[in-house]
Structure 1
């Protein structure tokens, strides 16, 4: 006996036939009709690709394109590459442009399945990508979208010293200076690298929030080739400030020359590769007054000035002209000629902190000196203050390393 059940569907009545009746009806139908119905069902369920005509609708292309960053992304990092990838197909064309229509450089991989940009993006720009590809099924597909990059509150310029092609002494540190304070020092420091032609142990140290220096543990090996790279463009310094541009420099270390002054001796000795090559009589800062001492510590030749004008109203002199001047600190000390103090040179310390030499000796030393040459001073009551922006060798190695942000 067959049983029929009435079921309401959308307000109407539909009949359901007990299973045995359904099987009987299927046996009467032609097999080809069953096969045609299954094929149509496959297309109708939206599987994409082959399998019937879906009631006359063409199947979707199998190729699919994705992008990084995704469409409509904002605050995109300007140094992260733009990537477009196609699955189950190959690219026919990819183009990324900014709002001015300038094309971003980029390239496809060998399989033409991935496109990667080859240059950094601009700050605060809107970019459009458009791509087309052919799938493994021979069908075409396309993709487009836009995204925007981060807009800094400010961009901060950085400078590097020594400059390109410079030749400097064995005590010369590498200096990176920023035109505004850096909050995220670690982020800035991670962007810095030093390469040397011979192995050199060294470290970065922040001397203040606008300056980070790299110095070797010991003096540089003579004739070392040095390359410094600061990939600072796109670096987030914190507080809405970002790096303005990448900077780099390549320079070399010269011969090893070191000056040693033991103030009670009234002598200035010059060493090349550890051997004494000159020994000049000198007059150093007054012994009795620590404020006038030539202070203890290791400093470097910072500038070479054939003529300098000295002023110190506190001690009663202004507009005093001296020759063959080598600045050794930002505290005010120089090595220079002072024939006016000739009676004390080699005999007594009577200067206001500078190392006074006879004119001929000052000229000879001036001609031999190189920026970055170390000057080691001992024997005084006072030490050089560690407040200058060139205090690198006044700190012991452990203290120096403690100033790293990493």
Structure 2
């Protein structure tokens, strides 16, 4: 063999060896050629966090984890003190939901793991920080739980500080009734919003109120301190018809007259001393009330069976000292005077929230003394809503 032929034979052998070696490197895990080695597949499972991050998260926002293309194995949400937030992993493993409210001004960290349908693990990880309010504002709601109240009783939510964003606060308030009742919220001041029906409540109505105020921004960095709820019942319908010109006080129950008491109202000739026209409600009941009015020469006067109907100073109460004028002449300083027996008879039947409709006086009550909800007509009332 010539030297040239020997060189070509050797070169051909070398090329075959190189090609064989190259053919072994292109085999992928599934037997297909990749041309460049095996490439790792991305895990199929995708984890979604709410909240996923941030430094001004509202603690009342939804707190949950969900997964696509797999299932959650375990999830934990831990605050800065290492305490885990209570939560529930769904039976299907597709979601986890927090079972308690988060706190203001705290940092929370997600941890856990999910497994995709491809068998690969994906971490649950991340962190976020909740807002730190300039102030947490406390609120209260009335009527209180399990109360039985009269058919004119408003629902009242009062705040410790003035509310700037009234619309935000009002949107957080919900009223549910056992029968359809038309009603509306009205802001009576910067710190009080009331709900009342358009007409008196139907007797026997069951009422539930949810005030989801935690996390609500009232403006100027102030937030709701906590949620509020109450459940109460409307009692029988009892209305006092107090016509000062008749010198009688009539009580109607469920649409029928059940009593008529001889009464003495405020002095007719003096607008400062008469019992002003308007629709009041029973605010409070006291077996004995201490009456004071130094301007008219009396202090520490005890009167029995006193039913407060206004913070302006009007009551229904006994006044035996004025017995001679009961049913005949109006001589009080604005209260409705009854005999002791009649005052107790009425006292025993009255519920907080019962309406007292005063007519026949020379002046009307200004709508500024609690409780003045029914001193406003429906158009005036609805105009006081922030929504």
1:340/1:156 CA distance change after superposition, 3 Å? same
Partner residue of 1:157? Answer: 138
Shift of 1:199: 1.1
Equivalent in 38, 45, 52 of residue 63 of structure 1: 45
Partner of 1:265: helix, strand, or coil? coil
Cα deviation 1:29-77 (Å, max 9, x = unaligned): 969957955969xxxxxxxxx9869657755534343423223x11101
Going from structure 1 to structure 2, the CA distance change for 1:236 and 1:260 (only over 3 Å counts) comes to same
Q: Which residue of 2 aligns with 1:177?
A: 158
Match of 1:365, SS? helix
In structure 2, the partner of 1:256 is 237
Structure 1 residues 99, 349: closer, same or farther in 2, change over 3 A? same
Distance 1:86 1:275, change over 3 A: closer
Counterpart contact for 1:53–1:59, Cα < 8 Å: no
Q: Which residue of 2 is the match for residue 350 of structure 1?
A: 331
The separation in 2 between residues aligned to 1:79 and 1:344, in whole angstroms, is: 61
Corresponding residue for residue 279 of structure 2: 298
Task: For residue 390 of structure 1, report the CA deviation from its aligned partner.
Answer: 1.0
Measured in 1, the distance between the counterparts of 2:191 and 2:33 equals 67
Aligned ranges for residues 85-234 of structure 1 at < 5 Å? 85-234=66-215
Contact kept in structure 1, 2:172 and 2:212, CA below 8 Å: yes
Length, aligned pairs only: 372
Q: Is the 8 A contact 2:28 2:38 kept in 1?
A: no
In 2: Cα distance, 1:91 partner to 1:57 partner: 26
> Aligned runs of 1:304-343 on 2, under 5 Å?
304-343=285-324
TM-score (norm 1): 0.86
Q: Deviations over 1:261-292 (max 9, x none)?
A: 11111111111112111111111001111011
Does the residue aligned with 1:147 lie in a helix, a strand or coil?
A: strand
Give the distance between the partners of 1:190 and 1:246, measured in 2 at CA: 13
- Which stretch has the larger CA shift, 140-149 or 221-230? 140-149
- How far is 1:344 from its partner? 1.3
Q: Quick one: structure 1 residues 108 and 350, their matched pair in 2 at CA, closer, same or farther if it must change by over 3 Å? A: same
Unaligned runs of 5+ in 2: 1-14
Distance 1:113 1:368, change over 3 A: closer
Moved over 6 A (4+): none
